[in-house]
Structure 1
């Protein structure tokens, strides 16, 4: 398994912020979009858990906003994940 596949398992463990994904020179634009979309999916699941009373670090809503901004910067469709 390569580094990209490992990152897709849990992007939040590999990057502190979505902006860090944008700055990662070792990935293509399409790979960055895939990483951000996976992170978006994970953040949405966490947001659901937080709304059910589970608390964890930075608000998933804040992270989702950052992910959406990063996707927009890459020219990807935003909000269709």
Structure 2
């Protein structure tokens, strides 16, 4: 598995956020890093669609699946508090070890 490629474009390496969470060769920290980057990209795509740029697709469903996968790895994904940007960064509490 090419970690550098996964960090550049998670969707090109993994079929789904769930596939990242279940990947046997990645450490928990690597899974979290890939999912956070994928989530940021999905948020960016949602903002682009909202602003009328073509090619956004259904980013909200993808983002929901990324958040669920992160919650399975970390627990306590806090979607109530969000960053003061359109991307609404997902804040993560390190609840699990």
TM interval, shorter chain, is 0.7 to 0.9
Higher helix share: 1
Offset at 1:56?
A: 3.1
- The one of the two structures with greater contact order (alpha-carbon pairs below 8 A, sep at least 6) is 1
TM-score by length of 1: 0.86
Cα RMSD between the aligned structures? Answer: 1.9
Unaligned runs of 5+ in 1: none
Which structure 2 segments of 5+ residues have no match? 78-89, 93-97
> Could you say if the C-alpha distance between residues 50 and 25 of structure 1 is closer, same or farther in structure 2, counting changes exceeding 3 Å?
same
TM superposition shift of 1:75: 1.4
Larger Rg: 2
